[in-house]
Amino acid sequence: QLQLVESGGGLVQPGGSLRLSCAASGFTLDDYAIGWFRQATGKEREGVSCISRGGARTNYGDSVKGRFTISRDNAKNTVYLQMNSLKPDDTAVYFCAAAPTTLGCTMLPLTYPNWGQGTQVTVSS
């Protein structure tokens, strides 16, 4: 069974930081590109960041560039999303997803067949 489990979400004040983790089980993570997505209440799901199989290529949404960093540790079968300078608009459920791509990565949700359950991030005073 292919599973992805997000963790690290929570409540943080504006300007604070969180690091999300996406742990894989049932498959070898280095065979997959990984994307991070988020969905705020009443809004469509949007791409946040993605990372290629080997970690050499990354993409970021315009709203998070310069603040978020994606990385992967294939030995630990885990992908991370470091989130700094958080804003209230970052409040959302954050999902990780895996896709068996051979090159690069995309931030299109429909290209990812495997999804985690999500972790809530709330940025508020």
What is the model's pLDDT at position 26?
86
The mean pLDDT values, 10 residues at a time, for the chain of 125 residues are 93 98 89 96 97 94 97 92 98 96 90 96 97
Residues 6+ apart with CB under 8 A from 18: 8, 9, 10, 12, 83, 86, 121
What is the model's pLDDT at position 102?
76
Cα–Cα distance between 35 and 60 in angstroms, integer? Answer: 10
Could you give the C-alpha distances from 18 to 6, 60, 97, 112, in angstroms and in order?
Answer: 13, 17, 19, 24
Cα–Cα distance between 71 and 42 in angstroms, integer? Answer: 29
Cα–Cα distance between 67 and 49 in angstroms, integer? Answer: 11
3-state secondary structure of 83: strand
3-state secondary structure of 1: coil
Closest of 110, 101, 89 to residue 47, by C-alpha: 110
